[in-house]
Structure 1
Amino acid sequence: MQPPTPSLPGLPAEIIESILNRLPLVDICSLRLTNRTLSSKTTQDHFKSYFKTKHVDLTESALRAFNAVTKDPGSLACSVENLVLVGVVYNTLLLERVLEKKSKRVVERMGMMFTASEAKCSEEELDAAARDLEILTRRKREQDELFERGGAALLLGRALENVRMNGKKGMLKKLNLDVVIYREDAEKRLSAEQGGSWKLIWKEAARTLETTLYALSQSRLPLEEMDVFSEVPRCAVARDDVSRAVPGQEGDEEEIVEGLRTSFESLKAFSISISHRNIDEREEDRERMEDGADPMTTFLQAREAATPRDIEVLRAEAADEQNFEGLARLLQLCEKSVERLDLHQCRLQRSSLHQRDMCDERLLQRILEIAKLERLEGARLRGMFVKADDLRKFLGQSKILRQVVLQEMHVTEGDWKGILQDLTAEKGSTGRADVDCILLDDLFERGRLLYFAGEEDDVPKCPTLCRTRGKNAFIRRGVEDVRREMKYHFATERMVGSPQAAAWREGRTAVYGPP
């Protein structure tokens, strides 16, 4: 009797899994189609891992598909652990300009400078632009109608409820928010860095956050981590839009607030990128989308001819309480559980209003008043303007705080001495945990950059006329290293014009604005 002929379906499941680990996804899918035995044996941990992360555009077709695949308790789509919700921007401004001018701008970078030229479009290119514009205009109209009738929040809420009811764990490990832009044509997806008008991106970011929070409140889906655009360059939610998105204002149903609180009860990590309120300083700015499709000279001429708004009205908008309390109310929902917090702030362009008019310090003050973040183990603050006493209180709320990251932080009143002393002090006798990791990067005291002595080579990021020594950024790890005394000083002269200084300013603008 001849031994049975070896066959792939006859191999043990463990060996099949080992084979799958060496195959790309497309080959795994082809293998699953060969017979039922292989289809069953290939549905193991490696194949399921492809379903643990899912990107879903906030469009009607994508949301309906997500809702459909999560209805079945046995569906692999219910294995999702990391969900990325993507707001979609349909920016038609560039194509409209191409059809109007019958040419397109070509921007090239030469070192630290940019050059722009006009290239005449062919008839084929103009026909393609017209078709793409028609498609994007239709998609934008359908998208706006979907959100206006509440369809996006309803569909997303149902899908998230399916994940809660049918998923193995009944929760999400991480929920990320992102944006994508259609601008050059109807097919190419662009990141926020490439997407033209920041106003359209900010508007979609706010709509995405509001839709997500409402869907979470309806589904009551527990989360472990939530990231609201914190690592998406050139994208943030304006602070007043955060207030509008977070339930809890007068007129909101208590059921909505409690539903969101249920989702946030298990939240361990929260990250968000916010920005100043978009305040139009000129009457014409309300209609200007800041797309950059036109030459800079045209933009500057339009600004010079614009009608400035009353400065007191602008200051009142900047000081509006709605600019500050929304983030605090959002953090209040997770104050009993959140262990890691990352707050990033982006500045917007302004010419009439001064920094003091923005009342930035009130943001952290409202957080201190409303949210008691006593379980924080790690805090990362970026791009914020604060008073020294408020920052000390914030970092002192939690007795178990061990990791602190401060980047592009501006102390407008007081100094850094007390804050640094608190971070480096031995806390064993006070019942507090010792901080064992500190990262400091570009700290300012009343507008002056700090230089720290005694840190490695003492070489700053950029040279100054007085050849100031000292680090502007460093990291300390381990309790003993953190406890070393921190001493800082200021430069007595300005920075020297240099490639390092230009790159430093460009890098800060890219991360902290204005966009």
Structure 2
Amino acid sequence: MPLEHLPNEIIETILSHLALHDIRNFRLTSRASASTSSHHFKSFLRRKHVDVTESSLRSFLQATNPGHIGSFVTDVVLVGVVNNPKWLNRRIKDPTDGHKCDMPGVGPEGQARAQADLDLLMQRQRDYERMRATGTDVTLLAEAFTNLMVPNHDERPGLRSLTLEVVVYRLDAEQRLPPADGGSWTLIWQAAAATFHTAMRALAASQMPLQELDVYSHLSRCSLACTELSAVDIESNGLTASLASLRSLSISFSDRIVDMRKHHFDITGDSADDVDWGDPAQDEERSDDEIEAELLDTSNFTGLARFLHRCTALEDLELHVFKLITSGLDNLYVRRDAYLHSILAINTPFPYLRRLTLRGVRARGPDLLAFIKALPIRELRMVNVKLLVGTFAPIFDYCVSHEAALERLYLDDLFDPNPLAHVYFDGETGKPTRIDFKRPCSNLLERTGMDVRRAIPYFTPVGTRLTENPRARRMWKWRRRAEYGPP
């Protein structure tokens, strides 16, 4: 029996297990096969990664023209590109430098290749800066978004999701590195900010309807400085239209970037920074009053609140706070609780919100309780949340009450203040991190359905170690540092 004569259910099952190349071959066997497999074939075309480079943006625009294959795209991953020349510069200056001696090709051929890679990175950066200066990035992306709003068969116009990411070129001109392995955190934060603004301006220009927006929420060691949210033209009619259609928002934002020194010296946080640390000027620091004025600037906190105020149709909200740790900064007054306080102050209604995730948040207990109470959520996730004032007791009491009506609760690595202490849940065994307690306990609590209504007994041992296993302790600290800071 010819394959195309098989029942559709069997063909659908076969196609669901095939890779894109095999589906292409199946489509070539007959017109009937091409028609039968069209749904599975289009599913491979829905998600598109687009680098913020002129060549990539132009290719994306061309692909989205009516009748072209890009018209099937519903999910776009916009990728900011960091061309980091730090290590190549250092290697060329001193090929015997043991700073990265694990890299091959230290001889003349290796040096020539390193120089060629460096020249290419520098040319890419010049091309990028020229594109940004002329606004070409926004124009090309906005035109592509506009193309995607042309009705395509039974597809809804616009995008289902837009995800922002960052990649780094550092060791050579070909290898794409994630931010966690990309050296200079300053260059990564700059690329994250530039990519975010390109996306926001393109949305505003096209008035693209958008259902889901993910701003670096699941990238390690990459976040959007809080001041960048304040720089968005939130009053733009086009952007207001895009944000009004959002159903899901995940966003990672960090503290304001503060330079403690009077002179910059091209310090980017890269291990290959070429800095004369013996220069006395390195020790010249700005005054505490000047730095604190920047840290307490209201624009650090109100940008997030104003942004969320335009997203009133949200059903799913995830806020991830990345803590930037700068030498000497923790001795100053940093209002990390002001983000949540500003959201409460602007009184944004979220009538449709059903799922809330808070990661890395620092808050006052009364503010956190008031925020949760104001939302009609059915699922609450809190990870690495620290209270600066109050305790979790009233928050837990509300979460298990019938008034809250929660259907799912996930709590992991919570901290009570005075002094800062890890929260351990009595009777929970999902993720034990202590083995010296006389009773079963864990810093992870996960409940669903009617199980959410049970009381949450907990305790906060002070002055105890995170874990009895040194290797596990190092892994925990590394994971938390990559996700929540420092850079």
Fold shared, TM-score > 0.5 on shorter chain: yes
CA RMSD in angstroms comes to 2.9
Residue 321 in structure 1 maps to residue 298 in structure 2: yes
Give runs of aligned pairs for residues 338-487 of structure 1, distance below 5 A.
338-354=314-330, 357-370=333-346, 371-398=348-375, 400-427=376-403, 434-446=405-417, 447-457=419-429, 460-462=432-434, 470-479=441-450, 481-487=451-457
Between the two proteins, what is the percent identity of the paired residues? Answer: 34
1:86 aligns with 79
The SS at the match of 2:289 is helix
- The amino acid of 1:505's aligned partner reads K
Deviation at 1:159, TM superposition (A): 0.4
The count of residues paired between Structure 1 and Structure 2 equals: 481
Give runs of aligned pairs for residues 50-449 of structure 1, distance below 5 A.
50-72=44-66, 74-103=67-96, 105=98, 121-167=106-152, 168-244=155-231, 246-248=232-234, 254=235, 257-285=236-264, 287-293=266-272, 305-335=282-312, 337-354=313-330, 357-370=333-346, 371-398=348-375, 400-427=376-403, 434-446=405-417, 447-449=419-421
For the residues of structure 1 that align with 2:211 and 2:430, how far apart are their CA atoms? 40
Deviation at 1:17, TM superposition (A): 6.3
> Residues 20 and 442 from structure 1, CA distance in 2 versus in 1: closer, same or farther, beyond 3 angstroms?
closer
The SS at the match of 2:349 is coil
> Residues 12 and 294 from structure 1, CA distance in 2 versus in 1: closer, same or farther, beyond 3 angstroms?
same
The SS at the match of 1:290 is coil
For the residues of structure 1 that align with 2:52 and 2:244, how far apart are their CA atoms? 25
Task: State the TM-score, normalized to the length of structure 2.
Answer: 0.90
Residue 47 in structure 1 maps to residue 41 in structure 2: yes
Give runs of aligned pairs for residues 22-41 of structure 1, distance below 5 A.
23-29=18-24, 37=31, 40-41=34-35
> Residues 458 and 31 from structure 1, CA distance in 2 versus in 1: closer, same or farther, beyond 3 angstroms?
closer
The SS at the match of 2:196 is helix
> Residues 23 and 105 from structure 1, CA distance in 2 versus in 1: closer, same or farther, beyond 3 angstroms?
farther
For the residues of structure 2 that align with 1:303 and 1:389, how far apart are their CA atoms? 47
For the residues of structure 1 that align with 2:344 and 2:329, how far apart are their CA atoms? 26
- The amino acid of 2:190's aligned partner reads K
- The amino acid of 1:306's aligned partner reads D
For the residues of structure 1 that align with 2:178 and 2:245, how far apart are their CA atoms? 31
Task: State the TM-score, normalized to the length of structure 1.
Answer: 0.86
1:136-155 CA distances to partner (integer Å, 9 max, x unpaired)? 10000000111121110111
- The amino acid of 2:139's aligned partner reads L
Unaligned runs of 5+ in 2: none
> Residues 389 and 304 from structure 1, CA distance in 2 versus in 1: closer, same or farther, beyond 3 angstroms?
farther
Deviation at 1:160, TM superposition (A): 0.4
Unaligned runs of 5+ in 1: 1-5, 108-115, 249-253, 428-432
- The amino acid of 2:140's aligned partner reads L
Deviation at 1:54, TM superposition (A): 0.8
Residue 505 in structure 1 maps to residue 482 in structure 2: no
For the residues of structure 2 that align with 1:19 and 1:377, how far apart are their CA atoms? 36
Deviation at 1:105, TM superposition (A): 4.4
- Work out whether residues 317 and 353 of structure 2, in 8 Å CA contact, stay in contact via their aligned partners in 1: yes
> Residues 34 and 299 from structure 1, CA distance in 2 versus in 1: closer, same or farther, beyond 3 angstroms?
farther
The SS at the match of 1:283 is coil
Deviation at 1:415, TM superposition (A): 1.6
1:491 aligns with 461
For the residues of structure 2 that align with 1:507 and 1:258, how far apart are their CA atoms? 40
> Residues 70 and 443 from structure 1, CA distance in 2 versus in 1: closer, same or farther, beyond 3 angstroms?
same
1:115-171 CA distances to partner (integer Å, 9 max, x unpaired)? x87988111100000000001100000001111211101110110011012442102
The SS at the match of 1:456 is coil
- Work out whether residues 380 and 408 of structure 2, in 8 Å CA contact, stay in contact via their aligned partners in 1: yes
More deviation, 408-417/14-23: 14-23
> Residues 349 and 303 from structure 1, CA distance in 2 versus in 1: closer, same or farther, beyond 3 angstroms?
farther
- Work out whether residues 426 and 439 of structure 2, in 8 Å CA contact, stay in contact via their aligned partners in 1: no
The SS at the match of 1:83 is strand
> Residues 11 and 154 from structure 1, CA distance in 2 versus in 1: closer, same or farther, beyond 3 angstroms?
same
Deviation at 1:414, TM superposition (A): 1.6
More deviation, 500-509/62-71: 500-509
1:113 aligns with none
- Work out whether residues 420 and 486 of structure 1, in 8 Å CA contact, stay in contact via their aligned partners in 2: yes
> Residues 340 and 9 from structure 1, CA distance in 2 versus in 1: closer, same or farther, beyond 3 angstroms?
closer
> Residues 458 and 165 from structure 1, CA distance in 2 versus in 1: closer, same or farther, beyond 3 angstroms?
closer
